[in-house]
Amino acid sequence: QKEVEQNSGPLSVPEGAIASLNCTYSDRVSQSFFWYRQYSGKSPELIMSIYSNGDKEDGRFTAQLNKASQYVSLLIRDSQPSDSATYLCAVKSGGGADGLTFGKGTHLIIQP
């Protein structure tokens, strides 16, 4: 049984600070890792993908992957109120035919 674990929150961060979101996964053969943002009542929006160990930066977002520790994180710099949403961590095995396995999501609140 593949599992993806996230702290459900809410995680409250002051505007302008760094928000740090964490995720662990159980399946060691997972090879692709994703972060989605989901606003209330909307569908998930892909914001980051990462496939190899280390950091990947895109604008204010940085994804970090440590396969040995089975750990993925997302950092949001200069947090804005518009970043307030639920952040979903998702993983996929090498073949991809099993689809994405999601965590329950972390509810992030950016306080103005």
Q: Where on the chain is the footprint of another protein (CB under 8 A)?
A: 4, 32, 34, 36, 42-46, 49, 88, 90, 92, 95-105
Instruction: Give 14 or 94: the residue with its C-beta nearer to another protein.
Output: 94
Residue 66 CB, nearest distance to another protein (Å)?
A: 20
Give the residue with the Cβ less far from another protein, 18 or 34: 34
Task: Say how far apart CA 108 and CA 81 lie, in whole Å.
Answer: 10
Query: How many CA within 13 A on the CB side of residue 73?
Result: 12
What is the nearest approach in angstroms of another protein to the Cβ of residue 48?
10
Per the CB < 8 A criterion, the answer to whether 48 and 64 are in contact is no
- Residue 52: which of 66, 62, 36 has the closest Cα? 66
Report, in Å, the least distance between residue 40 CB and another protein.
11
Residue 5 vs 75, nearer CB to another protein: 5
CA distance 79 to 14: 7
Smallest distance, another protein to C-beta of residue 25, A: 12
Pair of tokens at residue 15: 């505007």
